[in-house]
Chain A
Amino acid sequence: AQSVAQPEDQVNVAEGNPLTVKCTYSVSGNPYLFWYVQYPNRGLQFLLKYITGDNLVKGSYGFEAEFNKSQTSFHLKKPSALVSDSALYFCAVRDPTTGFQKLVFGTGTRLLVSP
């Protein structure tokens, strides 16, 4: 079965420091990978995706993610964290086993950026 793992329930970082939110995946075939962010009492917002091409993907709000095929990872990164980045982050992978291309989500990682 297709799956993603987010090994950290919570990540704490000080404002101005770099942040990393980890994600590993398991999928048959070529992975289509996504990151979404959820602010309190809101739905999920798309941040970035990897379909093919450059292993470093740039997305919204200064976030980027690095695709590593050998380690089956897709970690989310940002060079300098902001307090406003505090939110819940979800990694997702396309499930290619159906014709409808569902997304399978991880359990989420809460990011807390302290002033």
Chain B
Amino acid sequence: DVKVTQSSRYLVKRTGEKVFLECVQDMDHENMFWYRQDPGLGLRLIYFSYDVKMKEKGDIPEGYSVSREKKERFSLILESASTNQTSMYLCASRPQGSFNYGYTFGSGTRLTVV
């Protein structure tokens, strides 16, 4: 089975800190995605990457950046954490091309900014 692993299940950070959320997939997928999930808002796309060092903004990129130096790893960076970034963050991956596979999601990181 494809595995998408998010390094932390729960994180508590202080306002103004720089925060790194890590995601690793083990099936050589080209495409990787970062979503945030908030009650009543569903999943909203922050950034995605279609290959190493390639990235595209999603619907809500403000306050975030990403890094993809290796194919298997996609990092989400909160440059200066704020309380309105308290949320559940979900990483996903899928192979390029056919949509027969949909997405495979990690278990999520619940971030609290205090």
Contacts and interface: CB of A to CB of B under 8 A. Distances in A.
Same complex origin of A and B: yes
A43 B50 contact: no
Given A41-B108, A43-B90, A103 B40 contact: no
Contacts of A90: 42-43
A98 B58 CA distance: 11
Nearest to B56: A100
Contacts, number: 59
25 contacts: A9-B40, A36-B103, A36-B105, A41-B9, A41-B108, A41-B110, A42-B108, A43-B108, A44-B90, A44-B92, A44-B103, A44-B105, A46-B103, A46-B104, A49-B102, A51-B100, A90-B43, A100-B50, A101-B99, A103-B102, A104-B45, A105-B35, A107-B40, A107-B41, A108-B42
Contacts of B74: none
Contacts of B104: 46
B4 A43 contact: yes
Interface of A: 6, 9, 32, 34, 36, 41-46, 49, 51, 90, 94, 98, 100-108
A42 B88 CA distance: 10
B40 A102 contact: no
- Counting contact residues on chain B (CB < 8 A from A), the size range is 20 to 34
A49 B104 CA distance: 13
Contacts of B44: 105
Contacts of B103: 36, 44, 46, 103
Given A42-B108, A46-B104, 6 more contacts: A32-B99, A36-B103, A43-B6, A44-B92, A102-B48, A107-B42
Interface string B30-47: 010101000011111100
Interface string B61-105: 000000000000000000000000000001010000001101111
A110 to B, nearest CB: 10
A51 B99 contact: yes
Nearest to B6: A43
B26 to A, nearest CB: 15
A38 to B, nearest CB: 8
Contacts of A42: 107-108
A45 B3 CA distance: 12
